[in-house]
């Protein structure tokens, strides 16, 4: 694994560049990402392209032996461009324009803006496409950051209507699919259909689901336009995009199909603070991040391109600026996060950012260097990581025993119609992932249309819409399969299937979900040593339940190798199911102490101590320091 950093030569006097580059190389870094926000310096006036500074910046990095990842600058259109076409900005759900003065102020559907993007990307690719320093391109920056996937602009509405026409052909078919007879919502022409916002009460969930599918396709086609230009003018260079954490607003599998390498931006402390974690986790893992946050995304993004190639484009180096509270990492964590990425198969980890900027929005965001240019704490840890990486050599990701099925469409369905406020897709997936990892299992997170051949256990926490292809794939397996609540509960057009849930999954397990209920916080249904919260299904079946509540209601049903869990399980119930499956599959599980996680590469067993105390790691008999990493060569 290589190490790198994100660098903004346009933020610093040119006199500093050579020294910065020299210090990067000295620190053990060999990659630098630049350029992704530099449009106003590349083209200060319409049509006036100023390359000399960027030529010199790239040359300086190259001379120091650093490879360059060049970002296309389309996340930050300059002021003159927005003034030229004010309708290029996205419109929010309340109908307000998302104006100039920060970033991502564009609508994916605006054809004029797309043309401008093609123009600037072509110019950059022609200029630097065969530069020996440029080894990779990054398209745009964090599609969707700051809630920018959905736009309700005229441009989006027009393209949505075209999208619907292609999908349905006739308005009769559209009305039938959506069930528009309900509340007299029928349309006579595609021109009558608006985006699903500003309605008096909720819009039709089928309307929303198609709007989300459409918006997701817009991201993929926007990205593809750039990828095609880069491939034409910069052959044999890799193309990536930096995806985000806990983000499901567009289908990453669709966009990643046109990339060579998936990358993501890892901010474990910011994510712990901003997401659903309980007060105990926020306290216990304040300076480490919850032990599964980074690994979850490593395992997710390793699976999005199909090539298995991935990296960390932005690694948190110290306190960030954007969470409610922004603590500093425990000493050792920056090194731990770096080595953990390697253990999960990353090609590189790049720290965000080289030097903390003393100006503008992110002036409180740490870098490897302080604003005064002295080493910040993370600089020492990057050096340590570089040394260890050099010592243990390349790590190939090994195929994990467990496949966890992930679906962006499932996230949209749960979000559009939660039915219970706490039924949150990412949280459910994460809890299942976490339960597997606590038992020491390595996990591949895969799409619902991936091949499942060779896995020893398959888990689908929830898949409201199940394709016939997936049913056929599951039928070919003889390993244990665990399917979670609400699976098969909707058709492709967001209706309850004939014969009720779990729809076509009934071909695998004979049961019917006859009623569902959601439970408010603090309410739990008790079983023997476990609890069900949030969601409970009433199941009709001739099968005898494998696990029931104390009052006899069945929760888990099993038929051949397939289990169905009709509830939101707690960790105890999940663990019970995982252990049963592992025993059937002859996969060994471990009982890891709190805060410890393990990961096997092809050659090493890694153990990471996410707790703030030393912990005895039984598998090797070693005491691991807080934020410590133990690395053991596996005998072949």
Catalytic residues: 142, 314
Residue (of 433, 383, 387) closest to 406 by Cα position: 433
Q: Which is nearer to ligand GAL, 7 or 617 (CB)?
A: 7
Stretch that binds ligand GAL, among 141-149, 159-167, 337-345, 464-472 (CB under 6 A): 141-149
Nearer to ligand GAL, 320 or 413 (CB): 320
Distance of alpha carbon 380 from alpha carbon 384, whole angstroms:
6
Q: Which stretch binds ligand GAL (CB under 6 A): 51-59, 137-145, 519-527, 552-560?
A: 137-145
Residue 320 or 448: the one with the smaller Cβ distance to ligand GAL is: 320
User: Binding of ligand GAL at residue 143 (CB under 6 A)?
Assistant: no
**φ, ψ for residue 89, nearest 5 deg:** -75, 155
Q: Could you tell me the smallest distance in angstroms from the CB atom of residue 257 to ligand GAL?
A: 22
The answer to whether 265 contacts ligand GAL (rule: CB under 6 A) is yes
Interface pattern 300-319 for ligand GAL (x via CB under 6 A): --------------x-----
Binding to ligand GAL by CB under 6 A, coded x per residue (else -) over 412-441, reads ------------------------------
**How far apart are the C-alpha atoms of 390 and 280, rounded to whole Å?**
37
Number of residues counted as binding ligand GAL (CB under 6 A): 11
HSE-CB at 581 with a 13 A cutoff on CA atoms is 31
Which range of residues in 138-146, 158-166, 333-341, 451-459 is near ligand GAL by CB under 6 A? 138-146
395 binds ligand GAL (CB under 6 A): no
Is residue 195 a contact partner of residue 152, using CB atoms and an 8 Å limit? yes
Report whether 269 contacts 327 (CB < 8 A): yes
Count of H-run helices and E-run strands, the chain? 18, 24
Q: How far is CA 363 from CA 54, 285, 329, 339, 442, in A?
A: 23, 25, 18, 27, 38
8 Å CB contact between 585 and 479? yes
Instruction: Work out whether 8 is an interface residue with ligand GAL (CB under 6 A).
Output: no
Report the residue number, 102 or 588, with the smaller CB distance to ligand GAL.
Answer: 102
462 binding ligand GAL? (CB under 6 A): no
Angle at 48 between CA 44 and CA 52, to 5 degrees: 80
Minimum distance from CB of 382 to ligand GAL (Å)? Answer: 17
How many residues are recorded in the chain? 636
CB of 362 to ligand GAL, least distance (A): 6
Q: Which is nearer to ligand GAL, 145 or 585 (CB)?
A: 145
Q: Does 138 bind ligand GAL (CB under 6 A)?
A: no
Of the candidates 72, 138, 141, 630, which one interacts with ligand GAL according to CB under 6 A? 141
- 242 contacts 142 by C-beta, under 8 angstroms: yes
Q: For 441-503, list the strands marked E by DSSP.
A: 443-447, 457-460, 481-483
**Backbone phi, psi, residue 21, to 5°:** -65, -40
- Binding residue for ligand GAL (CB under 6 A) from 106, 250, 267, 557? 267
DSSP string across 107-121: -TT-HHHHHHHHHHH
Question: What is the C-alpha to C-alpha distance for residues 280 and 284, in angstroms, rounded to an integer?
Answer: 6
338 binds ligand GAL (CB under 6 A): no
Please state the closest distance from residue 429 (CB atom) to ligand GAL, in A. 21
Instruction: Verify binding: residue 294, ligand GAL, rule CB under 6 A.
Output: no
Residue 406 bridge partners (DSSP): 447
**For residues 251 and 545, what is the distance between their CA atoms, to the nearest angstrom?**
35
- For ligand GAL, the closer of residues 142 and 444 by Cβ is 142
Residue 265 vs 299, nearer CB to ligand GAL: 265
- Residue 142 binds to ligand GAL (criterion: CB under 6 A): yes
| Cβ neighbours, 10 Å, residue 433 | 23
Residue 422, class by beta-carbon neighbours within 10 Å (0-12 exposed, 13-18 middle, 19+ buried)? middle
Q: Tell which positions 71-90 bind ligand GAL, by CB under 6 A.
A: none
Q: Does 352 bind ligand GAL (CB under 6 A)?
A: yes
357 or 388, CB closer to ligand GAL? 357
Does residue number 525 form part of the binding site for ligand GAL (CB under 6 A)? no
Write out the residues near ligand GAL by the rule CB under 6 A.
141-142, 145, 265, 267, 314, 320, 322, 352, 362, 365
């Amino acid at each position: 694994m290589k190490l790198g950093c994100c660098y903004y030569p346009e933020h610093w006097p040119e006199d500093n560049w050579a020294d910065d580059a020299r210090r990067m190389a000295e620190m053990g870094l060999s990659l630098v990402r630049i350029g992704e926000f530099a449009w106003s310096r590349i083209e200060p006036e319409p049509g006036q392209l100023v390359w000399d500074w960027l030529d010199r910046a790239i040359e300086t990095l190259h001379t120091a032996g650093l490879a360059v990842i060049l970002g296309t600058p389309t996340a930050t259109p300059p002021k003159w461009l927005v003034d030229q076409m004010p309708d290029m900005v996205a419109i929010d759900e309340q109908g307000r324009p998302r104006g100039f003065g920060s970033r991502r102020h564009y609508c994916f559907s605006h054809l004029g803006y797309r043309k401008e993007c093609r123009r600037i990307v072509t110019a950059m690719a022609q200029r630097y496409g065969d530069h020996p320093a440029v080894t990779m391109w990054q398209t745009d920056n964090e599609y969707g950051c700051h809630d920018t996937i959905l736009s309700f602009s005229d441009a989006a509405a027009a393209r949505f209507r075209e999208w619907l026409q292609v999908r349905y052909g006739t308005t009769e078919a559209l009305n039938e699919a959506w069930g528009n007879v309900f509340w007299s919502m029928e349309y006579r022409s595609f021109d009558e259909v608006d985006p699903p916002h500003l309605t008096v009460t909720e819009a039709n969930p089928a309307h929303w689901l198609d709007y989300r599918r459409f918006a997701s396709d817009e991201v993929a086609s926007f990205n593809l336009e750039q990828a095609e230009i880069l491939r034409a003018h910069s052959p044999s260079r890799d193309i990536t995009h930096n995806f985000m954490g806990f983000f499901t607003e567009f289908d990453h599998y669709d966009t990643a199909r046109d990339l060579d390498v998936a990358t993501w931006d890892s901010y474990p402390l910011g994510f712990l603070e901003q997401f659903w974690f309980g007060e105990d986790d926020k306290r216990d893992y304040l300076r480490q991040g919850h032990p599964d946050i980074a690994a979850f995304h490593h395992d997710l993004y390793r699976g999005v391109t199909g090539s298995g190639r991935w990296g960390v484009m932005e690694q948190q180096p110290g306190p960030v600026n954007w969470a409610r509270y922004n603590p500093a990492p425990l000493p050792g964590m920056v090194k731990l996060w770096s080595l953990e990425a390697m253990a999960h198969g990353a090609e590189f980890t790049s720290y965000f950012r080289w030097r903390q900027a003393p100006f503008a929005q992110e002036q409180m965001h740490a870098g490897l260097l302080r604003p005064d240019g002295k080493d910040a704490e993370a600089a020492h840890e990057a050096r340590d990581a570089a040394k260890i990486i050099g010592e243990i050599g390349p790590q190939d990701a090994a195929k994990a025993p467990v496949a966890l099925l992930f679906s962006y469409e499932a996230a949209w369905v749960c979000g559009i119609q939660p039915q219970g406020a706490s039924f949150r897709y990412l949280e459910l997936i994460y809890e299942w992932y976490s339960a597997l990892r606590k038992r020491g299992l390595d996990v591949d997170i895969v799409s619902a249309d991936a091949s499942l051949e060779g896995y020893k256990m398959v888990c689908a926490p929830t898949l409201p819409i199940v394709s016939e292809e997936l049913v056929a794939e599951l039928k070919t397996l003889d390993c244990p399969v665990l399917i979670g609540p609400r699976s098969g509960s909707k058709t492709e057009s967001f209706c309850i299937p004939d014969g009720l849930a779990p729809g076509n999954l009934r071909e695998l397990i004979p049961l019917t979900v006859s009623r569902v209920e959601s439970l408010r916080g603090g309410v739990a249904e008790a079983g023997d040593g476990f609890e069900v919260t949030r969601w409970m299904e009433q199941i009709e079946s001739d099968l005898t339940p494998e696990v029931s509540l104390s009052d006899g209601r069945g929760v888990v049903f099993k038929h051949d190798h397939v289990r169905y869990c009709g509830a939101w399980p707690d960790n105890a119930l999940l663990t019970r199911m995982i252990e049963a499956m592992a025993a059937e599959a002859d996969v060994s599980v471990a009982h890891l102490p709190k805060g410890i996680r393990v990961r096997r590469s092809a050659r090493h067993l890694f153990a990471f101590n996410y707790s703030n105390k030393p912990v005895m790691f039984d598998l090797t008999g070693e005491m691991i320091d807080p934020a410590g990493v133990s690395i053991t060569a596996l005998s072949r």
